[in-house]
Amino acid sequence: MTNAYDENKNFPVSWEELHRNSKALAWRLLEIGPFTGIVAVTRGGLVPAAIVARELEIRLIETACLASYQDKSRSEVQILKPASMAEDGEGWLIIDDLVDTGETGKMLRQMMPKAHFATVYAKPSGRPVVDTFVTEVSQDTWIFFPWDLESKPSVPIMGRRG
């Protein structure tokens, strides 16, 4: 199995695009709320959670710290810190950047079954786990978030075939 970083289907996301899509997520969530607070899934959910919190004027922010990648490859989901304030999740909004296979989302659902789970990006395998998302990408696409990127020249798509 090849590493996702070696694939040609990369989806780089700029800070501006992430902000715009996180704000679009807030617009969708406005009709569903109000929410008691937000559970930001570390690390990727921190930035979208901050934007959604600002847009929906939510000041109570909790974190759920989970790890599902080890050295750029998927691993078993580990709970590093549960969202203790959210209890069963009733009235709470869980925010993450991406639902990929859905394994992290399933763990979050077990922890907070009554919470509303929202992500900015969703892949087909993980879509059934989330309640609300903004942008769907194919399962074989690797999303590069702004915190993953540095400015450098890119190779044209045709130049990668070969």
Q: What is the pLDDT of residues 65-119, one digit of tens each?
A: 998 766 556 668 888 887 888 889 999 999 999 999 999 999 999 999 999 999 9
Position 57 in a domain: yes
Position 6 in a domain: no
- Residue 91: its pLDDT value, please? 95
Position 113 in a domain: yes
Position 151 in a domain: no
CATH of the domain at 35: 3.40.50.2020
Q: How would residue 1 be classed by pLDDT, with cut points 50, 70 and 90? A: very low
Instruction: Write out the catalytic residue numbers.
Output: 96-97, 100
Residue-number span of the structural domain to which 101 is assigned? 16-135
Cα–Cα distances in Å, from 41 out to 36, 38, 88? 16, 9, 16
Tell me how many domains the chain contains.
1
Mean pLDDT of all residues in 119-143: 95
Position 33 in a domain: yes
- Residue 31: its pLDDT value, please? 92
Enter the pTM of the model. 0.83
Residue 113, φ and ψ in degrees, nearest 5: -65, -20
What is d(CA 18, CA 134) in angstroms, rounded to the nearest whole number? 11
- Residue 54: its pLDDT value, please? 97
Structure tokens at 104: 């992290």
